[in-house]
A = this chain, B = another copy of it.
Amino acid sequence: MPPPEASSVANATTVETPSDFAPEDRSAEPDAARQAAGSTAASFVCPTPLPTKGRIVLGHGSGGRLSAELLQEIFLPLFSNPILNRLDDQAVLEIGGTRLAFTTDSFVVKPLFFPGGDIGSLAVHGTVNDLAMGGARPLFLSAGFILEEGLDTGVLRRVAASMAKAAADAGVSIVTGDTKVVEKGKGDGLFINTTGIGVVPDGVTLSASRVRPGDRVILSGSIGDHGIAILAQREGLEFETELMSDSASLHTLVAAMLEVSSHMPSGVSQGIRCLRDPTRGGVSSALNEIAGQSRVGIEIEEARIPVRDAVRGACEMLGLDPLYVANEGKLLAIVSPELAEAMVEAMRWHPLGAQAQIIGTAHEMHPGMVTMRTVFGSTRIVDMLAGDQLPRIC
């Protein structure tokens, strides 16, 4: 019997992407490995990528297979260099003996204001978090605005004030910027690019390629809040409980996690393998990237993944799977088994990690594949979907 999640996964309007140019390369993945996952999974083997017909479609920005195609066919062959080719969420640059993290993100979220945040705070949190996921202390941001003629200057002021507050809260300075204006009908109110610089502390090396079999997967809290809040706002949906984005800067949670790790006995101190914030593509996409880059299998347990009742309800109503919905204030950590319990304990002291859970384990079988033990006891593949997605979520 196929698990009941089948149709919702296969047909869901999903949002899946890695940040930056970092969708993983799945082209080398053996189909045999996927088939080997057993009959319960066979019906979830991904369809071939949608034909692009030589035109950019919304899916090219979703971070799913079409984004990966764009990356593999256009950007990587042309821009190829050892730093870019690592495909982590941030470049790590060695300059003058210091390791700098460097990351960029453009924000085109619609609507500009939503419960729990707006495009301004999101533009700060998103880039601060991409720095933090490399273990870096975020320091400086640039801000590039593309404004559409006719935008209310009051809207711009509110957004800029929100950016300023988010930056001050995160302890980063906006040190350089740029503003362009395009004619009415050639933009959509307001787009923001933020690019960030941080310093990676000595001894910290996090990368999606460092995961080993036996490592534990930790999730910092409930999933799906950001994507569902945006969708509800955009579509004018009302629920009994207000849906609220989780948009937040995660760097102090990361600092606390690195602190725990540094106090461990030698051998365990390198126990944080990698961190990822499961944004556009949700948890499924982030874990697929990690599994692909480290060539390990990852199995997660559905029962251990916190989802708020309101988010679960909205997902059921809308036919979405929370695993594919964007988060903006959550992180996944892959850590060594010796470190896992202490790490979860420490995370729970932090307000942004209060619901931290070990949700899964890396293993040797099916390298590159993510599977989930469902609440019904069956196992299913958690794949990156081709097909439609929820655009302009960030």
Give chain A's interface residues, CB within 8 Å of chain B.
19-21, 52, 54-62, 67, 70-71, 74-75, 78-79, 81, 83-84, 90-91, 93, 95-98, 100, 102-108, 139-140, 142-154, 156-157, 160-161, 163-164, 167, 173-183, 185-188, 191, 193, 195, 197, 199, 391-392
Copies of the polypeptide in the assembly: 2
Do residues B195 and A156 form an inter-chain contact, with CB atoms below 8 A? no
Q: How far is the CA of A92 from the CA of B195 in the complex (A)?
A: 15
**B58, B91, B193: the one within 8 Å of A181 (CB):** B58
Q: How far is the CA of A176 from the CA of B98 in the complex (A)?
A: 18
Do residues B104 and A142 form an inter-chain contact, with CB atoms below 8 A? yes
| Residue numbers in B under 8 Å from A67 (CB-CB) | 179
Query: 4 more A-B contacts (CB under 8 A) besides A54-B153, A144-B193?
Result: A21-B177, A56-B151, A78-B157, A182-B188
| Residue numbers in B under 8 Å from A71 (CB-CB) | 179
Q: How far is the CA of A62 from the CA of B20 in the complex (A)?
A: 29
| Residue numbers in B under 8 Å from A52 (CB-CB) | 153
Do residues A84 and B178 form an inter-chain contact, with CB atoms below 8 A? no
Q: How far is the CA of A160 from the CA of B142 in the complex (A)?
A: 22
A391/B20 contact (C-beta < 8 A), A74-B153, A105-B178 known: no
Question: Chain B CB within 10 Å — which of A160, A175, A176 has the most?
Answer: A176
| Residue numbers in B under 8 Å from A147 (CB-CB) | 56, 60-61
A177/B20 contact (C-beta < 8 A), A54-B154, A153-B55 known: yes
